[in-house]
Amino acid sequence: MAIQVGDIVARASYRFDVPFRVVKIDPEARIAELAGHDLRLYADAPLDDLTPVTAVDRVRYDQRTRSMESQSYRLFRQDYRQLKLKREYTATNGYRSGAAYFEIPGRILHIDGDPYYLKKCLGAYEKLSVPVIGKYMLEKEMHERVPELVAQIRPDILILTGHDAFMKNKGTHEEIKAYRHSGHFIRTVKEVRYHSPSLDQLIIFAGACQSHFELLIRAGANFASSPERVNIHALDPVYLAAKISFTSFMDRVNVWEVLRNTLTGAGGLGGVESRGMLRTGFPYLLE
């Protein structure tokens, strides 16, 4: 059975460790370009190295992934309830006065290099009740287009993600030339930070699977991937952004508390201490 665009496959040379979607095929070179099915990893492989994932294996993988996503969602809801109780206590000076107040969570602009992942992330934001605007954009175009979008939309939180990969045949972990898209993410962060230099006024997450974490942070990102050059899950940026969106601007966001709700954890994401973006207001007038 011939491999076709859209098929879910795995690589024999990597012991079928990660399922990929086939996004493009070069019939002359017999090379396929691959995007991780649930991981933000981009790769290419000879067609002869690819094997279609069976229906049984795909169901088993999807069940395991959904279980992980459900666990992250439950952790987020627990954190959200705790944050809400703290806000209620603070808003009423410790007294249960019954006064109604309203909340304005941090607004997110999510830029994604994969339309499939963007759709999945927007569904997760909706489930978490997080205000978001999502845009699909190729990683190589982000440095030119994102600064203007940020100026127009004026988000509180900016997510720059898509696909990336460390290619050991092109250099060491320290060399930017060895990364598929880290350079594009880094350049975009620098362009945005030129106009929004404060780490407290605009929270930035940047990166994807195996991205150059240290240079992304140095460029001005509050959070980035990937400290241990591992793969990150498609929804990791969502849980990170949601935590910041629902944390009061009066509170600092502990990096570990943010990461513990993600599917990848500290090996795949890291960052610097940052402020939350939610604001509370009075009064809330019922119609």
Query: Are both 228 and 125 inside the same structural domain?
Result: yes
* 80 has pLDDT over 80: no
30 Rama sector, left if φ>0, alpha if ψ -120 to 50, beta otherwise: left
Query: Are both 37 and 176 inside the same structural domain?
Result: no
> Quick check: is 254 in a domain?
yes
- Lowest-pLDDT range of 9-18, 147-156, 212-221: 9-18
For residue 201, what is the DSSP state? Answer: T
* 160 has pLDDT over 70: yes
**What pTM was computed for the model?**
0.85
* 102 has pLDDT over 90: no
The answer to whether the Cα torsion of 153, 158, 161, 167 is positive or negative is positive
Query: What's the pLDDT tens digit per position in 197-207?
Result: 999 999 999 99
Query: Are both 153 and 34 inside the same structural domain?
Result: no
Give, to the nearest 10 degrees, the angle between helix 55-91 and helix 236-245: 10
Please answer whether residues 263 and 68 qualify as being in contact, where contact means their C-beta atoms are separated by less than 8 angstroms.
yes
More confident residue, 85 or 210: 210
Query: Are both 93 and 24 inside the same structural domain?
Result: no
Query: Are both 172 and 46 inside the same structural domain?
Result: no
The number of distinct structural domains making up the chain is 2
CA pair distance 204, 241, nearest whole angstrom: 9
Q: What is the pLDDT of residue 103?
A: 87
* 171 has pLDDT over 80: yes
> How far apart are the two ends of the chain, measured CA to CA in Å?
62
Query: Are both 160 and 251 inside the same structural domain?
Result: yes
Domain extent for 29: 8-53
Return all residues near 145 (Cβ < 8 A) that are at least 6 apart.
137
Query: Are both 123 and 176 inside the same structural domain?
Result: yes
Query: Are both 130 and 253 inside the same structural domain?
Result: yes
* 126 has pLDDT over 90: yes
Query: Are both 141 and 35 inside the same structural domain?
Result: no
Query: Are both 13 and 142 inside the same structural domain?
Result: no
> Quick check: is 58 in a domain?
no
SS3 at position 50: strand
